[in-house]
């Protein structure tokens, strides 16, 4: 069908701007989806590769409580239980001079050499012997060595728990083999060396085992383990760790999907516009004998090509963007979840292919409506013309009914608490869609009242302009709906972030009751090194310090999986240290020191479906114990949640004298700076460097982490608005194109070019204002959905909705401004065009 | 003989059917439009017989329904009542897809405005009907150039329509309407947009081409001079045809 295809394809070459807009639309949509996919995939792969490298062929771990495992257990298992395929492991985090965090892993070359499970190259030969015989020696991953500019026999300066050390790098972990990206960030030492540097002599973190798939054997081993020590499968542990980021990723994906939807809208616009422009051409083709099927196919092929071009461009953008995004995503994961270094970025062909297919599919689906319109239009031009708008106008009430239905479904999805996160996200999409469907009706109502007002005030240009908008409700409605949705999403997300920030600030004020906090610098999320013994007592004796409170944070095993436990010893009971969900927070708090129960944070309760009074099992040093939940408190430090118990209960259950942090409560009128100096003096005599921060400083640092976490969201939000803007530009161009004959008639009857230009600007300004006003209720609804449902179901965080007026006004201004900006080019065209030329064209 | 079954066959283009029985027969054809909820009947029982090779001029007041009738003859629309038979079979009985296939094979259209596809060159415009009938560009090229030569436009074959004058455009449209050797040529005021002299020239060429190939021509016109060239003159009055 060469000539037929050419007749249609060349149309696009004659309208390059339009073509470009459509391609950009697809490209941006595809780019966002692909970049988020790639970034997520890269972090997943980095995670599983490094896990694989660290666990090798091992199938199970034996892990202990906060104090780890006694080394003797390893010997006992090997000798007495005859478990030959075992190896000891200890791990910690160290920082190096460029600020990055490395994983220091202690291993036993003998065990590994025999098992040939992991670090095969490192466990063999003379280098392994040097690790054992020379002090302070390590092996470094070749990739990391390259990054840090370190060669064998160089010294590596590290900081562990705030203390500086020099280590001698004797070889690469890979030996003389090719650098393995999966080993990025790995420092390998002999067990004894690692224990020494991590300050945990005689202790192991894990014993790794290779076990067959034999539940009886598992049970047998479990029964031999002392209380508080657990056997778990490697796969289960890894997937639990990785699952931590699931909700975070899902939210990112939802954002990218939104961008693709906006891109689809852009293609719809372009295709609808191009069909409109080609109406005569298509009619002629039909008269000559082209069938409906042929025209349908032509237009769908066009769309597919558009999708393909845009898609390929989008892949290129996407890969570029993914590199930036990867950095942001990894940083967030490191801030919030676990330590992960991602250096290898390899675009997965499957993701690229999927992105491309998504682009093409979106383009074809978007073009389906216009294509059907083109094929089914009567070749008799006189019939086609007014029919479209009439049909559109008759469709407006039906669209509204559909919109209301869609919003009702959205409401149900968002209200049903048992529904998960995915239905909730679908609910938000349905809410946006439903409101969009309702927009044309609201536009007509708004236009009608404006016309009435304009008639009263005799503003004929305004009346003419608004009538024109109402007359082509199919185009105008679409453009306004798109702008409304884009601005509303921006308002909604903005309000959500605002609310979140406010909630966090308030929460920080509540929990940071002490004036000064002392803790060891943490090298990784979810890992808190212990303080030196006796430090709290020493600090409590400083003049001006009224009381001290201590905290101990550890990771424990429970019947609900691995959990973070915080043991607190608050000096005051008159003011609750948390805001409890239930009303009698003060009463609950007053029983804290004596209660044989725990508090859990809201995300923890949400995640594990716990209510006050529910019981669950904790693995303690003295064996498993079942404890009830005495209260649920609001907490935002981790979306994994937190268990809190009183220090006295903790001490009864665990043999762990250590503390993680100390809070100093000053006497009224005490001089903060003086006391800080005194604290500094005491700390300087300690082996281990510690960090002293006032509650203000912690608050500021926490808020900074918060802003960092939402950096991605902000970027995606901007991008979505950008894509929407391109969509509006093309919709407005279609709108004005359709009105060009009417404008030519007006010009011929005496409208000056300037007036014609104004007419266009008044029209687009009116459309922008309509969109701006309509976006406010929707934006607030989206904010409520995000705050009350999406965030709650994603992370388990309840927040207070904070709505402030200035951003709402800014949103209206943004909509008007975007519309006016998009109207400039059409206005210019209208002013330039000869009315006779437009009239002659039939 | 073309029937609804043989319409699918794209090649070869069938020869002009010999006369008796008539090529076209209209019996009690009615057609109208719904406007503001009211049915307005435009054609109120049109009867007509056209022999193959005949040249008809159709006249009538503006709004009398001439274009409407032509659209029915070309299968672009169907009557609300009555029969239109082409070479013995009922056009109205065909579905839309079959009418399109029938039209692409047997009808050539020329109308007043927007005749040519602006995105195709002159030659491509001319070859499009052949392509739709399954004859590819290369195969049709010679015939196309030959006809363009006859209307003195061979050297403009590569030009786009917007570079052509009105008369030139209508000559190209003529060639395009005839290239696939349709049995029936329908022209709706083909010279309505041209000055008298240019119009005469276009009509001379149309005359000679149609007569040379022995095609049947039905042409709507407002001009008595144009009408006089035809073998037969018919007039639409009050929704019915009367001979003049
Ligand atoms: N799609 C339509 N909907 C409603 N009425 C129509 C439609 N198309 C044509 N008409 C009406 O049908 C009548 C006949 O129209 P038609 O175009 O056939 O007239 P005509 O004889 O060709 O006129 P002219 O000489 O001006 O071209 C006119 O009154 C016209 O308004
Ligand atoms: Mg007419």
pTM (two decimals): 0.73
Question: Which of B66, B193, B239 to mutate to test ligand 1, by most ligand atoms within 8 A of the CB atom?
Answer: B66
Report the C-alpha gap between A842 and A836 in whole angstroms: 11
Residue B11: pLDDT band (50, 70, 90) is very low
- Report CA(B188)–ligand 2 centroid distance (Å): 7
d(CA A22, CA A367) in angstroms, rounded, equals 11
CB contact under 8 A, B128 and A3: yes
Q: Cα(B7) to centroid of ligand 1, in Å?
A: 30
Distance separating alpha carbons of residues A385 and A681, to the nearest angstrom: 87
Q: Is the pLDDT of residue A690 over 70?
A: yes
Cβ–Cβ contact B76 with A under 8 A: yes
**Average pLDDT of the residues in A337-362:** 80
Write the DSSP assignment of A290-346 as a string of letters: --HHHHHHHHHHHHHHHHHHHHHHHHHHHHHHHHHHHHHHHHHHHHHT---------
Contact A287 B74 (CB under 8 A): yes
Determine whether the interchain pair B114/A842 forms a contact, defined as Cβ–Cβ distance below 8 Å: yes
3 state SS for A382-423: HHHHHHHHHHHHHHHHHHHHHHHHHHHHHHHHHHCCCCCHHH
Query: Is residue B100 included in any domain, yes or no?
Result: yes
Residue A33 pairs in a beta bridge with none
In DSSP notation, A792-836 reads HHHH---------HHHHHHHHHHHHHHHHHHHHHHHHHHHHS-HH
Residue from A587, A601, A628, A644 nearest A798 by CA: A601
Lowest mean pLDDT among A264-278, A371-385, A494-508: A371-385
- B237 is written with which tokens? 């009055």
**Top-ranked range on mean pLDDT: pick from A97-106, A498-507, A594-603:** A594-603
Range of the structural domain that residue B232 is part of: 54-78+93-243
Check if A50 contacts B (Cβ < 8 Å): no
Query: Ligand 1 atom 10: the closest Cα is on which residue?
Result: B33
Cβ-in-10-Å burial (0-12, 13-18, 19+) of A230 comes to middle
Of A3, A292, A379, the CB nearest to B137: A3
State how far the alpha carbon of A7 is from the alpha carbons of A680, B117, B121, in Å. 82, 7, 9
Average pLDDT for A666-674: 86
Find which of A277, A281, A287 to mutate to test the B interface (most B CBs within 10 Å of its CB): A287
User: How does residue B9 score in pLDDT terms, banded at 50, 70 and 90?
Assistant: very low
**Mean of pLDDT values over A311-331:** 85
> A591 vs A419, which has greater pLDDT?
A591
B42 lines ligand 1 (CB under 6 A): yes
Are the C-beta atoms of residues A723 and A259 closer than 8 Å to each other? yes
CA distance B182 to chain A (A): 11
Residue A698, pLDDT above cutoff 70: yes
Structural domain contains residue B41: no
Per-residue model confidence as pLDDT tens digits over A777-816 = 999 999 999 888 888 887 778 888 888 888 899 889 988 9
Quote the ligand 1 centre to B65 CA distance (angstroms): 6
CA angle B168, B174, B175 (to 5 degrees): 95
Say if A668 is an interface residue toward chain B (CB within 8 Å): no
User: Ligand 1 pocket, B65 CB below 6 A?
Assistant: yes
Residue A578 pLDDT class (50, 70, 90 cuts): confident
Q: State if residue B33 touches ligand 1 by the CB under 6 angstroms criterion.
A: yes
Q: Residue B105's closest chain A neighbor by CA?
A: A289
The pLDDT, as a whole number, for residue A730 is 74
Cα(B176)–Cα(B133) distance, integer angstroms: 13
Confidence of residue A77 (pLDDT cuts 50, 70, 90): confident
Closest CA to A331 of A54, A99, A31, A96: A99
Which residues 231-290 of A have a C-beta within 8 angstroms of B?
280-281, 284-290
Decide whether any atom of ligand 1 lies within 6 Å of the A383 Cβ.
yes
Which residue ranges make up each domain of chain A? 1-57+242-383, 69-204, 439-512+702-842, 521-689
Indicate which of B109, B113, B114, B119 best probes the interface with A, i.e. most A CBs within 10 Å of its own CB: B119
B181 — contact with chain A (CB < 8 Å)? no
pLDDT digits (tens, 9 = 90+) for B21-73: 788 999 999 998 887 778 889 999 999 999 988 999 999 999 899 989 998 99
pLDDT digits (tens, 9 = 90+) for A199-254: 888 888 888 888 887 888 888 888 888 877 888 888 777 777 776 677 677 777 77
Cβ contacts of residue A465 below 8 Å, gap of 6+?
Answer: A759, A762, A763, A766
| CB contact B128 to A (< 8 Å) | yes
Tell me how far the alpha carbon of residue B56 lies from the centroid of ligand 1, in angstroms: 20
Q: Is the pLDDT of residue A280 over 60?
A: yes
Q: Is the CB of A842 less than 8 angstroms away from the CB of B113? A: yes
Contact B101 A10 (CB under 8 A): no
**Ligand nearest, relative to CA of residue B65:** 1
Taking only the tens place, the pLDDT of each residue in B174-209 is: 899 999 999 999 998 888 777 888 888 888 888 888
**What gap in Å lies between CA A588 and CA A582, rounded to an integer?**
9
- Mutation test of the interface with chain A: which of B7, B106, B117, choosing the one with the most A Cβ atoms within 10 A? B117
Task: Tell me which residue in B100, B120, B124 faces A289 most closely, judged by beta carbons.
Answer: B100
Distance CA A766, CA A612 (A): 54
Rounded CA gap, A671 and B207, in Å? 112
Ligand 2 center from residue A279 Cα (angstroms): 19
Burial of A834: CB neighbours in 10 Å, binned 0-12, 13-18, 19+: exposed
| Predicted pLDDT of residue A668 | 86
- DSSP string of A115-141? HT-SSHHHHSHHHHHHHHHSTTEEEE-
Dump pLDDT digits (tens) for A740-790. Answer: 777 777 887 778 888 888 888 998 899 999 999 999 999 999 999 988 888
CB distance from A14 to chain B under 8 Å? yes
- pLDDT category of residue A525 using cuts at 50, 70 and 90: low
Which among A2, A280, A379 is the nearest to B76, CB-wise?
Answer: A379
DSSP chain B: ---TTGGG--SSPPPPPPSSS-SEEEEEEEEEEEETTEEEEEEEEEEEEE-TT-EEEEEE-TTSSHHHHHHHHTTSS--SEEEEEETTEESTTS-HHHHHHHHHHHEEEE-SS--S-TTS-HHHHHHHHHHHTT--HHHHHHHHHHHHHHTT-GGGTTS-GGGS-HHHHHHHHHHHHHTT--SEEEEESTTTTS-HHHHHHHHHHHHHHHHHHT-EEEEE-S-HHHHHTSSEEEEEETTEEEE-
In which band, very low, low, confident or very high, does the pLDDT at A842 lie, cut at 50, 70 and 90? very low
Nearest alpha-carbon partner for A65 in A524, A648, A555, A643: A555
Q: Is residue B65 part of a domain?
A: yes
Q: Do A7 and B176 touch (CB under 8 A)?
A: no
Nearest atom, ligand 1, residue B40 CA: 5
Name the pLDDT band for A523 (thresholds 50, 70, 90). Answer: low
Higher pLDDT, A321 or A439: A439
| Model confidence pLDDT, tens digit, residues B210-219 | 888 888 999 9
What is residue A316's predicted lDDT score, i.e. its pLDDT? 92
Could you tell me the two tokens for B73? 């003859």
Tokens of A743: 């404008």
Parallel/antiparallel/unpaired status of strands A598-601 and A561-569: unpaired
Instruction: Quote the number of domains for chain B.
Output: 1
Output the domain CATH number for residue B223: 3.40.50.300
């Amino acid at each position: 069908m060469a000539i037929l295809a050419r007749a249609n394809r060349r149309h696009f070459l004659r309208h390059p701007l339009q073509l470009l807009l459509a391609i950009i639309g697809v490209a941006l949509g595809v780019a966002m989806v692909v970049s988020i996919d790639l970034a997520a995939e890269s972090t997943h792969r980095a995670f599983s590769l490094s896990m694989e490298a660290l666990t090798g062929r091992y199938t199970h771990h034996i892990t202990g409580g906060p104090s780890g495992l006694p080394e003797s257990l390893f010997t006992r298992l090997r000798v007495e239980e005859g478990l030959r395929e075992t190896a000891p492991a200890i791990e910690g985090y160290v920082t190096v001079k460029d600020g990055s965090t490395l994983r220091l892993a202690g291993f036993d070359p003998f065990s590994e050499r025999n098992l040939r499970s992991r670090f095969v190259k490192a466990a063999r030969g003379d280098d392994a012997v040097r690790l054992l015989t020379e002090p302070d020696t390590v092996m470094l991953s070749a990739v990391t060595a390259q990054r840090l500019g370190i060669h064998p026999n160089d010294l590596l300066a590290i900081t562990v728990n705030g203390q500086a050390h020099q280590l001698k790098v004797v070889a690469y972990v890979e030996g003389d083999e090719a650098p393995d990206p999966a080993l990025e960030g790995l420092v390998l030492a002999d067990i004894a060396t690692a224990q020494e540097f991590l300050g945990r002599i005689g202790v192991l973190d894990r014993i790794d085992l290779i076990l067959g798939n034999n539940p009886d054997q598992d049970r047998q081993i479990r029964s031999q383990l002392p209380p508080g020590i657990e056997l778990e499968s490697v796969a289960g542990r890894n997937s639990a760790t990785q699952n931590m980021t699931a909700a975070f990723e899902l939210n990112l994906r939802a954002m990218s999907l939104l961008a693709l939807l906006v891109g689809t809208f852009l293609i719809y616009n372009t295709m609808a516009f191009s069909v409109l422009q080609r109406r005569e051409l298509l009619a002629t083709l039909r008269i000559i004998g082209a069938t409906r099927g042929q025209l349908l196919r032509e237009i769908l092929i066009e769309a597919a090509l558009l999708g393909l071009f845009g898609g390929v461009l989008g892949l290129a953008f996407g890969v570029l963007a993914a590199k930036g995004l990867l950095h942001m995503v990894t940083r967030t994961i490191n801030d919030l979840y676990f330590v992960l270094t991602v250096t290898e970025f390899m675009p997965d062909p499957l993701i690229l292919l999927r992105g491309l297919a998504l682009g093409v599919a979106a383009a074809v689906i978007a073009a389906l409506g216009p294509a059907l319109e083109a094929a089914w239009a009567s070749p008799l031009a006189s019939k086609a013309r007014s029919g479209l708008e009439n049909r559109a106008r008759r469709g407006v009430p039906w669209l509204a009914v559909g919109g209301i239905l869609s919003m009702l479904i959205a409401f149900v999805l968002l209200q049903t608490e048992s529904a998960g996160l995915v239905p909730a996200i679908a609910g938000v999409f349905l809410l946006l869609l439903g409101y969009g469907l309702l927009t044309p009706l609201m536009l007509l109502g708004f236009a009608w009242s404006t016309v009435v007002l304009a008639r009263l005030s005799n503003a004929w240009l305004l009346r003419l302009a608004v009538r024109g908008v109402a007359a082509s409700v199919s185009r105008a409605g679409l453009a306004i709906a798109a702008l409304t949705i884009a601005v509303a999403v921006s308002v909604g997300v903005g309000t959500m972030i605002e609310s979140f920030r406010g909630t966090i600030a308030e929460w920080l004020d509540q929990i940071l009751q002490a004036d000064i906090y002392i803790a060891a610098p943490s090298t990784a999320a979810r890992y808190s090194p212990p303080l030196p013994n006796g430090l709290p007592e020493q600090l409590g004796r400083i003049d001006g310090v009224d009381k001290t409170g201590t905290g101990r944070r550890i990771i424990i095993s429970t019947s609900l999986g691995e959990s973070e436990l915080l043991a607190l010893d608050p000096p005051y009971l008159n003011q609750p240290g948390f805001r409890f969900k239930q009303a009698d927070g003060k009463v609950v708090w007053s029983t804290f020191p004596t209660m044989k129960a725990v508090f859990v944070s809201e995300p923890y309760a949400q995640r594990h479906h716990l209510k006050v009074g529910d019981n669950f099992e904790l693995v303690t040093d003295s064996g498993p114990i079942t404890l009830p939940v005495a209260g649920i408190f609001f907490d935002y430090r981790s979306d994994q949640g937190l268990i809190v118990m009183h220090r006295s209960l903790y001490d009864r259950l665990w043999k762990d004298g250590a503390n993680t942090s100390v809070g100093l409560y000053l006497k009224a009128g005490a001089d903060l700076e003086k006391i800080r100096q005194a604290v500094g003096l005491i700390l300087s005599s300690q082996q281990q460097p510690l960090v002293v921060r006032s509650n203000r400083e912690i608050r500021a640092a926490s808020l900074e982490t918060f802003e960092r976490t939402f950096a991605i969201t902000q970027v995606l939000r901007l991008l979505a608005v950008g894509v929407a803007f391109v969509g509006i530009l093309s919709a407005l161009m279609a709108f004005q194109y359709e009105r060009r004959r009417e404008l030519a008639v007006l010009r011929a009857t005496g409208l000056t070019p300037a007036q014609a230009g104004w007419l266009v600007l008044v029209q687009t300004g009116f459309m922008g204002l309509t969109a701006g006003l309509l976006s406010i209720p929707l934006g607030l609804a989206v904010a409520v959905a995000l705050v009350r449902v999406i965030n709650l179901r994603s992370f388990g965080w309840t927040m207070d909705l904070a709505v402030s007026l200035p951003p709402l006004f800014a949103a209206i201004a943004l909509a008007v401004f975007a519309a006016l900006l998009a109207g400039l080019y059409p206005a210019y065209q209208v002013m330039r065009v000869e009315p006779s030329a437009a009239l002659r064209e039939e | 003989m073309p029937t609804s079954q043989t319409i699918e066959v794209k090649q070869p283009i069938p020869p002009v059917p010999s006369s008796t029985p008539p090529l076209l027969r209209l019996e009690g054809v009615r057609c109208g439009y719904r406007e503001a909820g009211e049915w307005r009947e435009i054609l109120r029982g049109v009867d007509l017989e056209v022999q193959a090779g005949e040249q008809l001029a159709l006249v009538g007041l503006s709004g009398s329904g001439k274009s409407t009738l032509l659209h029915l003859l070309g299968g672009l629309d169907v009557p609300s009542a009555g029969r239109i038979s082409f070479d013995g079979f009922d056009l109205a009985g065909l579905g839309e897809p079959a009418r399109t296939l029938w039209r692409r094979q047997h009808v050539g259209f020329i109308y007043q405005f927007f005749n040519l596809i602006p995105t195709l060159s002159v030659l491509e415009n001319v070859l499009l009907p052949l392509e739709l009938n399954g004859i590819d560009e290369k195969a049709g090229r010679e015939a196309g150039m030959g006809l363009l030569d006859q209307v003195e436009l061979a050297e403009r074959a590569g030009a786009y329509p917007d570079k052509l004058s009105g008369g030139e455009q209508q000559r190209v449209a003529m060639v395009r309407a005839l290239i696939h050797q349709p049995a029936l040529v329908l022209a709706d005021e083909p010279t309505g947009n041209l000055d008298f002299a240019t119009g005469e020239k276009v009509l001379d060429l149309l005359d000679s081409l149609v007569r040379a190939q022995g095609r049947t021509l039905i042409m709507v016109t407002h001009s008595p001079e144009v009408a006089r060239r035809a073998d037969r003159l018919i007039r639409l009055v009050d929704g019915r045809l009367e001979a003049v």
